[in-house]
Amino acid sequence: MMSSITGSNERPRIPVGFIVILACLVLVSACGFDSSEDASPSPTPIASMSSGEIEVTEINLGTGSALVWGSGSYGVVLVHGAIYDAASWTAQAEAIATGGLAVVAVEHATADDTRAAMDYLRRTFGTTAVALVGASAGTGPVLSAATDQSPGSSPVVDLVIILAGSGNVENLKVPSVLFIAAEGDSGAASSAQRMLEATSGDPDDLLIVPGSAHAQALFKQPEGETVLAAIQTRLAERQSILTSEP
């Protein structure tokens, strides 16, 4: 058995391990640690841009988590492709939010999460119209949420943007669409053309850029600037039209 040895003029020595444990307990107490799980869906800020202008907030939608940037009566829901996540939209979301829009990127690319994000925008910012942006595998959830809306539902889907996706758009009835793909991404390019013909047929609603990058991978290529600019321009147009309507 190990014992402490103390001289007549020496105070008892406190074991180093005890000091470490005590320091940890004080730190935990000071931080207000609570072992119970927080079930509240209230937004929790997790990071900020270096400029301090736009804060990104992580929220619980009830169906899954999501990231939120900006605020505004016009909202944007971003639905990522199969190998991506909500954070993969960060650069694009920040750029879009600077235009005075509320942007939500869902973590789970599902129709339920897309609808939950729309409802969050309505409840939090009073959003009345949204744009749904789907990349590749995110196309299905976006088209489902856009075509399943009941009359009078809010917010209304005002714009659908598809990045290198494919799906049935015969029942898609929205004021504006924009289909984007790279010319070397042959399957996506032909799908974009087919979807255009099945909806508006307006050549302004189709953007085919050089290269062969697929969906969100376009943003890592020089063509990404053109793609983002086209998305921002269309969003600004729709926002302007809605705010000018009586």
Count other C-beta atoms under 10 Å from residue 226's C-beta.
15
Count other C-beta atoms under 10 Å from residue 181's C-beta.
31
pTM of the predicted model, to two decimals? Answer: 0.80
Alpha carbons 66 and 93: distance in angstroms, whole number = 12
The reported pLDDT for the residue numbered 211 is 97
The reported pLDDT for the residue numbered 11 is 39
Is the separation of the CB atoms in 129 and 74 below 8 Å? yes
Instruction: Tell me if residue 171 falls in helix, strand or coil.
Output: coil
The reported pLDDT for the residue numbered 244 is 76
Q: Per-residue pLDDT for the chain (246 aa), expressed as one digit of tens each?
A: 333 323 333 334 444 343 333 333 333 333 333 333 333 344 444 444 434 468 999 999 999 999 999 999 999 999 999 999 999 999 999 999 999 999 999 999 999 999 999 999 999 999 999 999 999 999 999 999 999 887 778 899 999 999 999 999 999 999 999 999 999 998 999 999 999 999 999 999 999 999 999 999 999 999 999 999 999 999 999 999 988 765
The reported pLDDT for the residue numbered 160 is 98
The reported pLDDT for the residue numbered 66 is 98
Instruction: Name the CATH architecture for the domain at 44-244.
Output: 3-Layer(aba) Sandwich (3.40)
Helix 90-97 to helix 223-244 angle (10° resolution) is 40
Question: Domain extents for the chain?
Answer: 44-244
